[in-house]
Chains A and B, each alone.
Chain A
Amino acid sequence: MSGRYDQQGLPGPAPEERQRPRGRRNAQGIRIDPEAEAEHPPRRTVISALVEHEPGVLARVSGLFSRRQFNIESLTVADTQNDDWARITVVVEEPDPGIDQVEKQLAKVVPVIHVRELEADALARELVVVKVDADRPEEVHAITEMYGGKTLDAGPRTVTVELTGDEQKIDDAIDAFRQFGIREIARTGQTALARGETKTAVVPDHLK
């Protein structure tokens, strides 16, 4: 006992004397070829959740996103055909493992009935209200027409228009309006349904 008594720590081969594994994992815990760097790049997608319409659901969902540091672009929530349900549509930008986590963590929230990532061909729309300077009202009207929008208010100093469309169209329209001098913009964020016969949410029979 004497030899070791004052010594701190434990006996055994030092770190550099040990066997080493050959492999490696990336930051997402995925095994990778040590020679290659394989990070999943983030991608933008639409997650749709059907939830029970009860107080606090939105707070739960938004709290979940901030707590788990999910990167969201927009979040919308509103009623559905059934008064007891609401639909939450979230645009997220995450690598594939992150998107998988968003779906699974949302599914664990008790009032969530169904959640899934929508297909690329889903019908996603956003509404924007744009208020611009009224110096060139005819040109503002022309651009509004071009994007299929509607003038909501035309005054001596401002013109306010509404437009709906997919994200790209809205971005393009806003770019086009910049020449007039944008005073304010309000965007709703995207809401979406799956195309055609495809169901946006699958409701279990016992909840129908």
Chain B
Amino acid sequence: MTDHGAVPEFDDAEHPAEPTPDADAPSPEPEAGDEDRDPEPDTGTDEATERASTGADAVVAALSTAGVETVFGVQGGAIMPVYDALYDADDVSHVTMAHEQGAAHAADAYGAVTGDPGVCMATSGPGATNLVTGIADADMDSEPVVALTGQVPSDLVGNDAFQETDTVGVTTPITKSNTFASSADEVGDDVSTAFALANDGRQGPTLVDLPKDVTTTETTVDPSEPVVPDTVSVQERADDDAVEGAADAVAGADRPVILAGGGVVKGGATDELRAFAREHEIPVATTMPGIGAFPEDHDLALEMAGMHGTGYANMATTMTDCLLAVGTRFDDRLTGGVDSFAPDATVVHVDIDPAEISKNVEADHPLVGDASTVLDQLAAAMDASPDTDEWVGQCADWKTEYPMDYAVPAADSDEGDGAPDASAFPDDEPVKPQFVVEAVDAATDDDTVVTTGVGQHQMWACQYWTYTEPRTWVSSHGLGAMGYGLPSAIGARVAADDDQSVVCFDGDGSFLMTCQELVVAARENLDVTVFVLNNEAIGMVKQWQDAFFDGRRMASEYPWVPEFDALAEAFGADGFRIESYDDVPDTVEAALATDGPAVVDVYIDPTEEVYPMVPSGGDNGQFALSEGHL
């Protein structure tokens, strides 16, 4: 997929190939399906020119066995043998990223969109440490990722050798499992096991550290199919008695709420959850990773709850007497202070990870198991539906009382087809970011994948886009890693169907952290459209400074940001700019129509803030609608 000539020049300078004789490998051009340049026949008749099979070949064979189609990575000294083996791999393509953080985020997003592990690859030392942010992100969000890192030869490990880092040590707290590959005969199985573990039960990142002697040593051992180690077992079905108790609690509730977490999406339980909610007329709130689990245009949808959740989701989750929480770890951004989180609720908690049960919020009815299996069990155990007419009416009233409005009443700006009308807005006023989110939503199909960076733009993308399908919302939820947007859009683009659009909302601060990945999107001609909601600040910090630090805006204003449209063009992408409401419809249309990467620099109202808001550790029911409420 990649052309070696386009590998960024700084890469060689920052990660020079290790000056050892065994690094004297052919120029790494991991081109899939380019048979013209492959001098070696598939069935070797000439033994002299046939390269013997090595640990690196076993690694690549393990990738093939696991069904990997694409690897995101960056070359470097200690990983060169694996890249050399990829040179001959017809079924595994490689996307050369500009920076290893980009590779990890791209792999993470690939995992989020497909549900299968995304793969990232980097060399030892700085290559591996640059992956760390992306691995930590995948760990927090339970995304399946397999990271392969080069390592110095085993006999140099522990000597503080050139580009040596204790990668296993560094990544132990942020992986489900990691391994130092100790022999060429076992390295293929190490990689296979890493795939199995990344995918098994609660998904997450795994890592295999590959010393250069292991990948260059000859071996004839083929990797086996991915299987988890014997010590690992995952409970798929919840205890039947516990299910009966939970069903009684739900059926007997007056004010039930379903809280759909990321586990609903990852567990493929969207259909079961939607059916359950509709059958029993139970309103559904989601966590941020749970966005897409339930269609936000449905009457029962309360949308996202928590710090920047909707007023109605926070009222309902606060006043509920029975919370059916599925696949959520009750993160503090969701719960606010636990003392005031759903304090009247009997909690039914469905999760595949028993350690999440009663970790943050006590589960009255713990149901350990796979989300779809347990929801089927629960559906079968429901003898009656709760009487929710009054409660659903109350939730509807809250929707009316706390509309997700901005600046102008929705009725004035909506022509009835869902598309906001730019002409209803004064042209001398700066563009509201929410309007842009709604305009892009209206201009794209329901299956469009949205990725974001982290900050205000991310919250507006949560709040003002109407998500209806699972795996269309890709973001850095738990880690909150600014810079996630563009590389994740690249990963999502590679993962998504050809007829699916991929849109990235980014902020100027977030975009500046990883904008070099534009070179990848341009080189690979990846059709992604980035909307930089540019307020010349890291706006969320600025908003907090205004609210909690007496407006002392230390290091949060970025009056020196480049012209992002010009920057995009310098990278070989198409650049656009929106400066007023009049620009919005045509520019959005033109940018989306671009066949390849496009960046739209959107000059948004720099005074716009994100509300509702629950301050850290606050009471969700007391969400602020404006700064005066904080």
Q: Closest residue to B408 on the A side, CB-wise? A: A1
What residue of chain A has the Cβ atom nearest to residue B406's Cβ?
A10
A10's partner among B343, B361, B403, B425 (CB-CB below 8 A) is B403
Known: A29-B338, A29-B358, A97-B358. A59 touches B229 (CB 8 A): no
A27 to B229, CA, bound (A): 36
Residues facing A in B344-370 (CB within 8 A) are 344-345, 353-355, 357-362
Q: Within 8 Å CB of B180, what residues of A?
A: 55-56
Rounded to whole angstroms, the CA-CA distance of A108 and B175 in the bound complex is 12
The answer to whether B230 and A104 have CB atoms under 8 Å apart is no
Q: Which residues of A contact B173 (CB under 8 A)?
A: 63-64, 67
Q: Indicate whether A26 reaches chain B with its CB closer than 8 angstroms.
A: yes
Does B296 reach chain A (CB closer than 8 Å)? no
- Is A14 interfacial (CB-CB < 8 Å)? yes
Instruction: Return chain B residues, CB-CB under 8 Å to A52.
Output: 231
> Which chain B residues lie closer than 8 Å to A55 at the CB level?
180
Asked if A23 and B231 make an inter-chain contact with CB atoms under 8 angstroms apart, the answer reads no
- Cα of A110 to Cα of B179 in the assembled complex, Å: 11
A25: Cβ under 8 A from any B Cβ: yes
Q: CB-CB < 8 A to B429: which residues of A? A: 5
- Residue A19 interfacial (CB < 8 Å): yes
User: CB distance A29 to B197 under 8 Å?
Assistant: no
Are A110 and B627 interface neighbours, CB within 8 A? Answer: no
Residue of A nearest to B330 (CB): A29
Contact residue among A1, A24, A108, A207 (Cβ-Cβ distance under 8 Å from B412): A1
Q: What is the bound-complex CA distance between A62 and B233, given in angstroms?
A: 22
Note all chain B residues with C-beta closer than 8 A to A9.
609, 611, 624-629
Q: Which residues of B contact A105 (CB under 8 A)?
A: 355
A28 to chain B, nearest CB (A): 7
Secondary structure dominating the interface of B: loop
Task: Scan B594-630; emit 1 where CB is below 8 A from any A CB, else 0.
Answer: 0000000000000111011000000001111111110
Interface members, chain B 213-238 (any A CB < 8 Å): 229-233
- B-contact 0/1 string along A1-22, CB 8 Å cutoff: 1001101111111110011111
Q: Does A100 contact B (CB under 8 A)?
A: yes
Are A101 and B621 closer than 8 Å at their CB atoms? Answer: no
User: Among residues 120 to 172 in chain A, which have CB atoms less than 8 Å away from a CB atom of chain B?
Assistant: none
Among residues of A, the one whose C-beta sits closest to the C-beta of B463 is: A10
B271-302 interface bits toward A, Cβ cutoff 8 Å, 1 = contact, 0 = none = 00000000000000000000000000000000
Q: A4-B409, A25-B340, A56-B168 are known contacts. Are A10 and B612 too (CB-CB below 8 A)?
A: yes
Closest residue on chain B to residue A64 by CB atoms: B173
Please pick, from B341, B607, B624, B625, the residue contacting A11 in the complex, using a CB distance under 8 A: B625
Interface residue from A12, A18, A111 paired with B403 (Cβ < 8 Å): A12
A1 touches B361 (CB 8 A): no
Bound: A47/B625 CA distance, A: 48
Cα distance, A21 to B197, chains bound together (Å): 42
Kindly report which residue of chain A lies nearest to residue B338, judged by CB atoms: A29
Beta-carbon contact of B621 and A25 below 8 Å: no
Q: Does B339 contact A (CB under 8 A)?
A: yes
Least CB separation from A15: chain B residue: B622
A-B contact pairs, 8 of them (CB 8 A): A10-B612, A12-B401, A15-B623, A21-B342, A27-B338, A64-B173, A110-B231, A204-B233
- In the A-B complex, list the 9 residue pairs whose CB atoms are closest, starting with the nearest: A9-B626, A1-B408, A23-B343, A104-B355, A29-B361, A12-B402, A15-B622, A30-B362, A23-B344
Q: A interface vs B, CB < 8 Å?
A: 1, 4-5, 7-15, 18-31, 52, 55-56, 59-60, 63-64, 67, 97, 100-101, 104-105, 107-108, 110-113, 204, 206-207
**Can you name 20 extra interface pairs (CB under 8 A) apart from A9-B609, A26-B339?**
A1-B425, A5-B429, A8-B608, A8-B611, A9-B625, A11-B625, A12-B403, A13-B402, A15-B622, A21-B318, A23-B343, A23-B344, A24-B339, A25-B343, A27-B338, A29-B358, A30-B362, A63-B173, A97-B358, A111-B231
